[in-house]
Structure 1
Amino acid sequence: MTSKSLFFKLMKEDFKTRVWTLAISILIFFFSLIVATAMMISFNLYEGSAYSYKADLALNFISYIDVKNPFFGMIFIVLALVMAMSGFSYLYSKKKVDMYHSLPVKREVLYFIKIINGILIVLIPFIICEIVASLLILANTGEIIVITSALWSIAEWTLLFIMS
């Protein structure tokens, strides 16, 4: 039987060894969501007409974060592979395998900890950056549909990432 405190201590220790993956995830989503949104705003303010730039900006952002965009699909596939390789890299070292399997924890629990940490490391920065990007668009357009579509795309991408 695994106690709750041991479960969370193991999650914390696993997170400490995988903090570099969190940094990669933060950087990828910062540049692909927040910086790209700021550039989209700048481009639409410069190139758009005075009457339709708000609607065009909102539609461009909605199509950018949509689940049909292959750019984010590739990002999530690459991050899923990185999370799997970083989480289960201990299996390629006999010393690490002996150490992990000597812990008084079932192997299923160790597997579950690696999976949960991998999901959290990717999804938390994604959700935060997506919300910040949609708030940037909302501040520039005033259209509330941006928030609802952002929440919908967060749900879609979360489901697709967990399934991958």
Structure 2
Amino acid sequence: MGPKAKYSGFYGYIVRNANKQNIYIVNKTFSKKLKVTIPSAPPYWIKNKTNLSNKLLLSTKDILNSNYVENKTFDNKKIKGVKIFGSFINGDKSKAHIKLKISNNSRLLYKTGPRTKGQQIKIYSNGKEIFNGNLVSQTNWGVIVFDISQKYTNLTIEMIDNSSKWGEWSSVGLEEKK
């Protein structure tokens, strides 16, 4: 590394399928190396909602189990053709969950409070948990796009509000199907 590059602020990038592999960071000056295990990347990506259409793929028919309540999100604004369910039942203190049937490339409209330490997302294949992580804070509506390996089948997700602290809640928007 040259003198100009030493403090360049360079960041490295790791490809998504490198989950749980080891990389080594080497310091040539001191002949030391640091072993780092790459954490699991979530099997989904998030895009900000810019132009919402009803083609969310996930609908009210995909609900398997829920105690989220209709129209219980922080601002309770309606979206045409979309039913909104949330954990903001009695304010931040409420805890709730929703379980949905999904497939690869399914999209889910979601929103959270400003804090998400107690907001979980779990993904299951044939009833076995394959991912467990915290929801990314999304105070405006965003879309989760699921990108799950084809080897997994019979997919479900569970969103869990497991906190009664200020700013902790989550909501989903599902295409309204009768």
How high is the TM-score relative to the length of structure 1? Answer: 0.26
If each structure's strand is expressed as a fraction of its own residues, which one has the higher value?
Answer: 2
Select the structure with the greater relative contact order (CA < 8 A; seq sep ≥ 6). 1
How high is the TM-score relative to the length of structure 2? Answer: 0.24
If each structure's helix is expressed as a fraction of its own residues, which one has the higher value?
Answer: 1
